[in-house]
Amino acid sequence: MKTLYIHIGTPKTGTTAIQAFLAENTDALFRNNYIFRFFPFRYTRSVGAIPPKRNGFFLHGDTVPDDPEQNRKKNEPRLKEGLELIAKWFEEKDNVILSDEFIWNEIQRWDFLSVTKQHAKDHGYIVKLIVFLRPQSEYIDSFYRQRTKMADTTMFWEEYLNSSDIITDYYGHLSNLAGLFGKENIVVRPYEPRQWSIDQSDIFHVFMDTIDAPYTDDYVLPPGEKNLSVKYNDSEIKRVLNYLHTESTKAQNDADLFFRRKAKECSVLLPDQEAFSFFSEEERSSYMSRFEEGNNRIAKEYLGRDVLFAGAGKPKVKWDRFHPTMQDDIILFFGNVTEELFREINTLKKENEELKRFSLLYRFRNWLRRLRGKH
């Protein structure tokens, strides 16, 4: 049966690494009866261009929070264009793969998956949704730091935790998706790198197994880490800097990209010596208790086991903005910024001197100075 696999997220579960793997191995996938391709159209948002390897982005498009009809009107033509391309791809191979981590959260914006379902019915293929889940406490913690890194929020953690619109009711959300596509077409995988390491596996093997594709010697690993998380201190520094970027002008976006890069560099230069979390162990336990029943139902109904997530791992230290290492990280961050600007200014000075040496006016003034010196 021809199958469209849609990897829908969630964010912060290795989605960027999976997309990099798929993009690196398009030819090998094609030889094994799978198509992962970029689309001829591109999307650009205020935070920058959407990477082509997020080839499932066209399904939902660039949306606004509370206007489903506007989102449909704005994005449905491109959705239909993309689906028609997929119908042609199915003439070449039996399996097509789409991936975009924000599908998980964008599902509530408008009914793009209903349009996709109808297209699948009309063109004789089935849709399988793939989602990786991690404990809600880890998910919201990591996603908040991602949002501060991307200049999407200036909220304190406490504000964000109480007002976030990201979807943490995993069971309820999966039930809605199962109602649309059937539970048999929803594939759930826990995001558990610790367990994969014990099993001598990784997210790439897990993903390939999820789409029933053998992991052969044809496949190569993508180079480097793709979506580095910033440290907690650097995330707080970036949160404050986000007040500078309240408008989507090119100058502000370029400046934000610069600060974002510096936050990542400093996270590598001076890594945390402790494992931090925005939650204390007590707070984490209390927060996770809200989802215990739903998570257990996911484990039994989608995975055939008793517990969705393996143990919480080693206890983490609750971070706060007054942590003793904050001063060092502030100094390092702005020292790193100043050093790069200093180097750039010196380079520009040298280039300016070179340009002046070749200018007629500069040479004429030098001639005059030499002439006066003779007299």
- The reported pTM is 0.89
Nearest Cα to Cα of residue 271 among 329, 338, 337:
329
pLDDT given for residue 88 in this prediction: 98
Report yes or no on 264 lying in a domain.
no
Q: Which domain holds residue 169?
A: 3-229+291-322
Angle at 275 between CA 272 and CA 278, to 5 degrees: 105
Q: Report residue 189 as tokens.
A: 């995988």
Tell me the pLDDT tens digit for each residue of 12-59.
999 999 999 999 999 999 999 999 999 998 876 655 689 999 999 999
Residue 16 domain-assigned (yes or no): yes
Dihedral sign from CA coordinates of 98, 110, 47, 243: negative
Find, among 160, 35, 15, the residue nearest to 96 by Cα. 35
Cis-peptide into 10, omega within 30 deg: yes
What gap in Å lies between CA 148 and CA 343, rounded to an integer?
27
pLDDT at 230 over 60: yes
Q: Among 47, 48, 71, 46, which Cα is nearest to 59's? A: 71
212, part of any domain: yes
Q: Could you give the CA distance from residue 143 to residue 9 in angstroms, rounded to a whole number?
A: 12
Q: Does residue 160 lie in a domain region?
A: yes
Q: Confirm whether 222 is domain-assigned.
A: yes
Q: Is 30 a member of any domain? A: yes
Residue 101: give its domain's CATH number.
Answer: 3.40.50
Contact 233, 273 (CB under 8 A): no
**DSSP three-state, residue 54:** coil
Is 283 inside a domain boundary?
Answer: no
Tell me what the mean pLDDT of segment 298-310 comes to: 95
Query: Of 122-136, 151-165, 269-283, which gets the smallest average pLDDT?
Result: 151-165
Cβ partners under 8 Å of residue 121, min gap 6? none
- Which band of pLDDT confidence, cut at 50, 70 and 90, is reported for residue 67? very high
Query: CB count, 10 Å around CB of 346?
Result: 10
CB neighbours of 156 closer than 8 A, spacing ≥ 6? 239
Res 331 pLDDT > 60 = yes
Q: Where are the alpha helices (DSSP H) in 164-249?
A: 170-181, 193-198, 203-210, 232-241
Domain count of the chain? 1
Q: Is residue 170 part of a domain?
A: yes
